Amino acid sequence: MKKSVIYPPYKEAVVGEIVEFRCPSDETVEWRFNGGELPSNAFAEIHDYETFVLEILYVQHENEGNYSCIGKLGQNYYTSDGVLHVKGKALYHSEIQRIKPIET
């Protein structure tokens, strides 16, 4: 069985950035934040057939903590953890609204 881990296992971000965690799985992945529900600015999506992505938009200090994915590879279920550390000055709601994603 291939080793399954969340990527990256540690992420440092500046307030206002967009952060992604990736998790391989043969089936749908369940994501958790500090053992509970995800924050309201975190969205799970499928990147490709075996990679699931958790995207955290415009991170704030409240988003700092442990993100876990629960997935399945082959016959085995696993839990893998990644840590997000947020640094920088907190943004207020009006400042967040002015931040626009870069179009590619």
As a three-state string, the secondary structure of 24-45 is: ECCCCCEEEECCECCCCCEEEE
pLDDT in tens, 76-103: 888 999 999 999 886 665 555 555 555 5
Band the pLDDT of 4: cuts 50, 70, 90: very low
Query: Whole-angstrom Cα distance, residue 6 to residue 82?
Result: 6
Query: Which fold, 10-92?
Result: Immunoglobulin-like (2.60.40)
Q: What's the pLDDT at 94?
A: 55
Locate the domains of the chain by residue range.
10-92
Q: What's this model's pTM, rounded to 2 decimal places?
A: 0.80
